[in-house]
């Protein structure tokens, strides 16, 4: 899989003000949601410690995760 960012690193980047643009989009199979952060010109998905891509079952769950990190807004791609 392409590069991804760990949740811990993302939390640190948000706290430092280094990450400001975020995106929620459907996974390639269309059954779940993924959360991405823009680093430079690339959108990197969030990964967990065990999985290469963290998935959320609903957009509401993505919102709870983002709010917990301190994200104030993010784009949604349908």
60-69: pLDDT as tens digits: 999 999 999 9
Q: How far apart are CA 40 and CA 37, in angstroms?
A: 10
Q: CATH no. for residue 15?
A: 3.30.720
Full domain range(s) for residue 46: 5-77
C-alpha count within 13 angstroms, C-beta hemisphere, residue 69? 26
pTM: 0.90
* Interacting residues of 19 by C-beta distance below 8 A, sequence separation 6+: 10, 13, 37, 38, 39
Q: Give me the pLDDT at residue 1, please.
A: 43
The number of folded domains in the chain is 1
Asked if residue 2 has pLDDT above 70, the reply is: no
4-62: pLDDT as tens digits: 999 999 999 999 999 999 999 999 999 999 999 999 999 999 998 888 899 999 999 99
Q: Give me the pLDDT at residue 20, please.
A: 93
């Amino acid at each position: 899989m392409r590069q991804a960012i760990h949740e811990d690193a993302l939390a640190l980047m948000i706290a430092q003000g280094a990450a400001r643009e975020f995106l929620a989009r459907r996974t390639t199979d269309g059954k779940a949601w993924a959360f991405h952060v823009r680093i430079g010109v690339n959108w990197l998905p969030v990964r967990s410690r065990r999985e290469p891509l963290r998935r959320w079952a609903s957009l509401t769950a993505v919102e709870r995760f983002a709010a917990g990190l301190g994200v104030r807004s993010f784009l949604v791609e349908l």
